[in-house]
Amino acid sequence: MSSTRRATDNGVFRQERFASSQEFERGLMANLVAKRCSILEHAKDRELIWFIQLLSHQAGGLNKFAADLCARFPDHVATASMRQFGMKAGQIYSAPQVRAVRSEIAAGVFDYPLKGEMDTIALLAIPDGPCDAIDNYCGDWKRERDKRVAEIDAASAKLPNRYAAESFVARCRDEAEKELAKHLACLCLDPALPIADGKPWYFPTLISTLRQFQAEWIANRNPMAVTTVGKEVCDALDYANENGRLVLVDGLARIGKTFSAQVWCQQHPGRARYVQVPPTNDDFSFFRAIARSLGVSVNLKSKAQELRCRIEETLQGGNLMLVFDEAHYLWPQSHYRSTTPGRVNWLMTALTNNGVSVALITTPQFMRSQKEIESRTCWTGEQFTGRIFHYQKLSDSLTADDLESVARSFLPDSDARSVEMLVLYAQSSAKYLAGIAAAAGRAQFISKREGRQRIESKDVKRAIKESVIPSDSAFAAAMKAVEKPSRRRAGSVPAQPLQDECNRFERPVQPMNFERAQAAPERFRAELVH
């Protein structure tokens, strides 16, 4: 489509006329940012650039990021002399201070003239000689020159000999509001722009301020629930990040793998991106998921081959790590005998062979799928297995202390009794950690509906007894009702219900053995259930 096509207001109304509006454009393209990062020598500089690129794809884009930066560090939006002299309310700069400050401002000498300083532009406009012979004979040009010089001199005598600091502060903030977002984009794209303090003139400490903002942003992310599984996941991801290797993290469902991987990626915004592998067979959906995570341009007319090339260009030169969750979907989901694992082959050849750090977060289904592919196709897994430099088998269960840590992360302001009830429910529910999330979410709903901000233990008890357990039991009964007996499936083991028939969640599910649950007072258990 030609870029010159325009829809007029008087024409037929079409919804798509607004699709290319500038307001919808957000985010720096990762493949272009990767070119910039490929020539940066220091890892901290590359991480800073990727951090800015990540925020450019969040709500509000670079404009919001620039506004947040100025709001967080208002005293940094000033020239070096302004920060030296101070910028207090009501402060007045003397003539020497004004000269120092305006020398750091673009066109400052013209915008902030002092008493006795004549207008240079006006002086240049004064005739310095006759325009013709008659003018030279009459001498009118001399009288005109003297008159205008006298006027300029009189005007200069009326100029102030000092300025309020607020006028310079307003000038810097106005400039930052108009130009800072554009400067941040240039910082991520322009190879000639140094990553050092000094520019722009209204924000000379920009780079050091960005690094401080980055550190605070990371510190304010969702805190990692310190569990056994969380530590194991982080250790594996740290190894892949530092060594540029492929790691495989394998663990059972509902033990916190996804949460730990997401939080780890949030705490490494300049180094890693989180990707959830789609459960499809087509290449477009797979590369589209990666492209959206990286910030590669995607539209409805994009082809899988185009996305793949942009992704490879980004990852092979940009020093970014990919964390694939639900990695068992990397294997083909069809049952054709000739189907080969194209996603896994691409991961090996395009990423791992080029030094791109990759982490695969999966369940034991990953191994079963690999064995099935090898058994029904000519594909063999020796090359893929040889590229796995670290295999992390996660713990099959969490301790009571781990569950307590997770419960407190969902309800940080709750009392110990509420946390205890969540732990007991998680130990007996087949949902496990998802059970804590369900009970905590229902308790928050009850508290909010009753007009209270703080969640109390009665809310947790009510959520578990009146909502979560009946919901689990009803779902288990519904699943059991739709089972169809078949001679081919007669030997299969039926799925375990989410809750037992008595709705008692105080007993841990075997083979898990939680000492904390066993030591819980019988009076507390009876009160919780009944």
pLDDT in tens, 442-498: 888 988 888 888 888 888 888 888 888 888 787 778 777 766 555 454 444 454 544
Report the pLDDT value the prediction gives residue 18, as an integer from 0 to 100: 64
Closest listed residue to residue 51, CA positions, set 198, 212, 197: 212
At residue 119 the predicted structure's pLDDT band, cuts being 50, 70 and 90, is low
Q: How much is the average pLDDT of 249-268?
A: 90
pLDDT in tens, 297-326: 887 777 889 999 999 999 987 689 999 999
d(CA 223, CA 236): 18
Report the pLDDT value the prediction gives residue 224, as an integer from 0 to 100: 59
Q: Return the higher-pLDDT residue of 34 and 127.
A: 34
Which residues make beta-bridge pairs with 149? none
pLDDT at 112 over 90: no
Report the pLDDT value the prediction gives residue 34, as an integer from 0 to 100: 93
At residue 67 the predicted structure's pLDDT band, cuts being 50, 70 and 90, is very high
Report the pLDDT value the prediction gives residue 186, as an integer from 0 to 100: 94
Three-state DSSP class for 261? helix
Which residues make beta-bridge pairs with 250? 362, 393
Q: Which of 32-36, 137-141, 429-433 has the lowest mean pLDDT?
A: 137-141
Q: How much is the average pLDDT of 387-400?
A: 88
Ramachandran class of 61: left when φ > 0, alpha when ψ lies in -120 to 50, beta otherwise: left
At residue 25 the predicted structure's pLDDT band, cuts being 50, 70 and 90, is low
Segment of 147-161, 175-189, 398-412 carrying the highest mean pLDDT: 175-189
Q: Find the distance separating the first CA and the last CA of the chain, reported in whole Å.
A: 68
Q: Where are the alpha helices (DSSP H) in 39-94?
A: 43-56, 61-72, 80-85
- Given the structure tokens 């013709």, which residue do they identify? 132
Q: How much is the average pLDDT of 172-200?
A: 93
pLDDT at 514 over 60: no
pLDDT in tens, 45-59: 999 999 999 999 998
Label residue 123 exposed, middle or buried (CB < 10 Å: 0-12, 13-18, 19+). Answer: middle
Q: Which of 106-110, 321-325, 525-529 has the lowest mean pLDDT?
A: 525-529
Half-sphere exposure of residue 2, counting CA atoms within 13 Å on the CB side? 4
Closest listed residue to residue 281, CA positions, set 340, 349, 347, 323: 340
Query: Which CATH number is 228-393 given?
Result: 3.40.50.300
| Whether 5 contacts 16, CB under 8 Å | no
What pTM did the predictor assign?
Answer: 0.78
pLDDT at 127 over 90: no
Label residue 266 exposed, middle or buried (CB < 10 Å: 0-12, 13-18, 19+). Answer: middle
Report the pLDDT value the prediction gives residue 2, as an integer from 0 to 100: 46
Residue spans of the domains in the chain: they are 21-114+160-220, 228-393, 400-479+496-529
pLDDT at 415 over 50: yes
CA angle 13, 10, 12 (to 5 degrees): 25
Report the pLDDT value the prediction gives residue 286, as an integer from 0 to 100: 94
Percent of the chain with pLDDT over 70: 80
CA angle 395, 396, 400 (to 5 degrees): 85
Q: Which of 355-359, 421-425, 509-513 has the lowest mean pLDDT?
A: 509-513
d(CA 411, CA 421): 12
| Whether 379 contacts 339, CB under 8 Å | no
Closest listed residue to residue 172, CA positions, set 212, 196, 201: 201
Handedness of CA 186, 188, 190, 195 (dihedral sign): positive
Percent of the chain with pLDDT over 90: 41
Structural element, H or E, at residue 465: none
The whole-chain average pLDDT of the chain stands at 82
